[in-house]
Amino acid sequence: MAWLYAAIRDRFGSRFTTAAAVGLAVWFLSSMYAAVYLHAGLPGIFPHDIVWVPVAWQLLEYPLAALAAAATYGD
């Protein structure tokens, strides 16, 4: 996430929204993809709670991690 933030901050600026957008993009590409794969690809093996509760938690976790990475990134 820190690399992606560093790559796009020149174009979008070093703002809170840029870091949050990076966190949401990484969340979507990793957590949502994995959850949809587990839920649709292996139906009946994993209950809904085991698949979707971590995805909801990571929706908060990833943008906060991107904000922490953006705060440590210097000019």
Domain boundaries defined on the chain: 2-72
User: Pick from 33, 39, 36: which is nearest to 62 by CA?
Assistant: 33
Task: Tell me: pLDDT of 33 over 70.
Answer: yes
Task: Tell me: pLDDT of 74 over 70.
Answer: no
Question: Rounded CA gap, 70 and 64, in Å?
Answer: 10
Better-scored residue on pLDDT, 50 or 66:
66
Residue 65 binned pLDDT confidence (cut-offs 50, 70, 90): very high
Q: For residue range 43-55, what is the model confidence (pLDDT) as tens digits? A: 778 777 777 888 8
pLDDT, position 75: 60
CB burial readout 22-40, b (16+ within 10 A) else e = bbebbbeeebeeebeebbe
